[in-house]
Amino acid sequence: MDLDLGVDPASATPPYEQVRAQLAAAIEAGALQPGTRLPTVRALAGDLGLAVNTVARAYRELEQAGAVVTRGRSGTVVADDDAEHGAKAAAAAYAARARELGLTPERALELARDALRA
């Protein structure tokens, strides 16, 4: 698997969030199909020049959002594609972007409600 991930050290967005957002976008776009095994935390951290805990946090957040599943020694894989997964991934991507823009949670929810009504 050839993941084209990168981290901008000058960005105001924390490195774990950059990794999480890039992986979430790749999953959402279909570049990473359900069942695809992600690199080990250690391998990806080495490739990106990050601490292992940084990549582990990105993977944990993706798992909490339902985008990936960790299967012990079998590694972390992209979760089965279903409506709930897609909704969680979209919500996580929106939340990350809202944080990047400096929106308060209240304002982000207001904008989301307006968009749903449109």
Alpha-carbon distances, residue 94 vs 24, 37, 39, 61, 108 (angstroms): 11, 25, 25, 14, 9
Q: pLDDT class for 72, splitting at 50, 70, 90?
A: confident
Tell me the mean pLDDT in the region 35-63.
95
Strand partners for 68: 78
Structure confidence by residue, pLDDT tens digits, 25-42: 999 888 999 989 999 999
Share of the chain above pLDDT 90, in %: 64
Confidence at residue 71, expressed as pLDDT on a 0 to 100 scale: 82
Check pLDDT > 70 for residue 3: yes
| Range 15-117: architecture per CATH | Orthogonal Bundle (1.10)
* Beta carbons of 62 and 17 less than 8 angstroms apart: no
Domain boundaries, the chain: 15-117
